[in-house]
């Protein structure tokens, strides 16, 4: 659950902080993507302010995102999000503040893992600075920092336990750990991350951008593939069977589109091409569906700490006509790659009757893929 119903008045400005731009995208977009790409997360509830529900359709267009209207306080918004899950309750739920856009998969994984042995878990950073009390601009005393932590999110819970705790609590609370502790739940402390800052003031935007620029690794790869026509009655393009008076010739299913995208990912990783990973001399790949190859390339990117930012694919042929099937191909390619359709472009062009594609001897494909880490 991503809680994004606040107004962020301490930051100032005409927009709530979750809709302000950070490194070229909104804060909410960064936070949402962090959880959509996390392997431990199956679905997301985004809690928006009632005044922002006009934006709900855009976010809910993602098949793994639902939207709920929040309440007057943070606790009210969390309760609304929990109620939105009640018809199909999960075993575990993570509750995260939208204003922490730099959360990473390792921290998410630590919280989820702690729920194997505890009803609740939350990340925190030990307080290492000296603590003072003060008044009228002067130090009035010292405070012991032993055993003190700075709380972070996502805070994780067994769903049934935190839903019941919030229902009984009723009022507002500083965070969901406060609600859990009041209910008597044991909350495990897991290692937090200094990068997981909460954007609260204007200066935090600049600090977050510095952290993002310092660590982001962007790689771009391209892939090109060609397959000749052979006797048949359909071609497979981007995982979609397209009726045609011929088929494509190849050792696998000859999906020229998926082959180009797969090679683009391998290229961005500097890991060669499909032939290196799936040799055509190996009979086990004869007639194999090409989503196997793309699955492998995506897994390799994930293992090395990259996510796919976008895919741009151009199919080059005179026939069959790609335009009517392009939306379907886009959705299928996005599904295999594990990203949103809004990050995938499938388009087509002809070669103006020139060359082998112009003579309708085969189909070519050109793909560009961008990988981003973290």
pTM score: 0.62
How does residue 251 score in pLDDT terms, banded at 50, 70 and 90? confident
**pLDDT of the residue at 109:** 94
**What string of DSSP letters covers 128-186?**
-S-EEEEETTEEEEEE--TT-EEE-S-EEEEHHHHHHHHHHH-S--SSHHHHHHHTT--
CA 131 to chain centre: 38
Convert 45-56 into a string of H (helix), E (strand) and C (coil): EEEECHHHHHHH
Name 102's Cβ contacts closer than 8 Å, sequence gap at least 6.
30, 34, 195, 196, 197, 208, 211, 212
**pLDDT of the residue at 12:** 66
**pLDDT of the residue at 31:** 96
Structure tokens at 128: 């290492």
Task: Establish whether domains 2-215 and 217-373 are of one fold.
Answer: no
Q: Where are the domains of the chain?
A: 2-215, 217-373
Domain at 2-215, CATH homologous superfamily: Spore Coat Polysaccharide Biosynthesis Protein SpsA; Chain A (3.90.550.10)
Structure tokens at 288: 């194999």
* 180-187 LR contacts (CB < 8 Å, sep 24+): 180/119, 180/120, 185/119, 185/120, 185/157, 185/161, 186/118, 186/119, 186/120, 187/118, 187/120, 187/121, 187/122
Give the pLDDT mean for 299-308: 90
Structure tokens at 206: 């600049």
Q: Could you read off the pLDDT of 183-202 as tens digits, one per residue?
A: 999 999 999 999 999 999 99
Whole-number Å distance between alpha carbons of 292 and 305: 20
CA separation (Å) from 176 to 90, 181, 266?
17, 9, 42
Q: Say yes or no to pLDDT of 252 above 90.
A: no
Give the pLDDT mean for 302-314: 92
Instruction: Note whether 69 and 142 are within 8 A (CB).
Output: no
**pLDDT of the residue at 374:** 62
Give the pLDDT mean for 112-132: 96
Whole-number Å distance between alpha carbons of 157 and 111: 9
Q: Say yes or no to pLDDT of 20 above 90.
A: yes
Instruction: Note whether 66 and 43 are within 8 A (CB).
Output: yes
**What string of DSSP letters covers 200-212?**
-SHHHHHHHHHHH
Domain 217-373: give its CATH code.
3.30.1330.50
**pLDDT of the residue at 305:** 84
Task: Count CB atoms within 10 A of the CB of residue 302.
Answer: 16
Residue 298's H or E segment, with its range, is: helix 291-303
Q: Could you read off the pLDDT of 206-242 as tens digits, one per residue?
A: 999 888 876 678 899 999 999 999 999 999 999 999 9
**pLDDT of the residue at 284:** 86
Residue 57's H or E segment, with its range, is: helix 56-60
Largest CA distance in the chain: 88
Q: Could you read off the pLDDT of 31-83 as tens digits, one per residue?
A: 999 999 998 999 999 999 999 999 999 999 999 999 999 999 999 999 999 99
């Amino acid at each position: 659950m991503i809680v994004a119903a606040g107004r962020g008045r301490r930051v100032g400005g005409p927009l709530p902080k979750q809709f302000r731009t950070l490194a070229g995208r909104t804060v909410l977009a960064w936070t949402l993507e962090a959880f959509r790409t996390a392997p431990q997360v199956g679905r997301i509830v985004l809690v928006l302010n009632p005044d922002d529900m006009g934006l709900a359709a855009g976010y809910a267009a993602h098949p793994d995102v639902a939207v709920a209207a929040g309440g007057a306080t943070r606790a009210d918004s969390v309760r609304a999000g929990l109620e939105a899950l009640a018809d199909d309750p999960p075993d575990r739920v993570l509750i995260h503040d939208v204003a922490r856009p730099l959360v990473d998969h390792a921290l998410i994984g630590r919280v989820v893992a702690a729920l194997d042995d505890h009803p609740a878990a939350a990340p925190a950073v030990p307080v290492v600075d000296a603590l003072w009390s003060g008044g009228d601009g002067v130090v009035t005393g010292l405070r012991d920092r032993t055993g003190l932590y700075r709380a972070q999110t996502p805070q994780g819970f067994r769903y049934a336990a935190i839903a019941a705790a919030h229902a009984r609590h009723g009022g507002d609370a500083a965070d969901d750990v406060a609600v859990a502790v009041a209910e008597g739940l044991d909350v495990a402390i897991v290692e937090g991350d200094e990068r997981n800052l909460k954007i609260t003031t204007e200066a935090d935007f600049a600090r977050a951008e510095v952290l993002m620029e310092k660590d982001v690794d962007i790689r771009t790869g391209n892939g090109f593939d060609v397959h000749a026509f052979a006797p048949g009655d359909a071609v497979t393009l981007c995982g979609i069977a397209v009726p045609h008076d011929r088929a494509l010739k190849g050792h696998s299913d000859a999906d020229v589109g998926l082959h180009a995208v797969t090679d683009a990912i391998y290229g961005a990783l500097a890991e060669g091409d499909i032939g290196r990973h799936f040799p055509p001399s190996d009979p086990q790949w004869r007639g194999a569906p090409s989503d196997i190859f793309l699955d492998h390339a995506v897994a390799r990117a994930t293992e090395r700490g990259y996510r796919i930012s976008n895919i741009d694919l151009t199919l080059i042929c005179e026939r069959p006509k790609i335009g009517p099937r392009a939306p379907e191909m886009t959705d299928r390619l996005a599904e295999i790659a594990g990203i949103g359709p809004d990050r995938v472009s499938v388009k087509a062009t002809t070669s103006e009757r020139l060359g082998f594609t112009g003579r309708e001897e085969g189909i070519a494909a050109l793909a560009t893929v961008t990988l981003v880490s973290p």
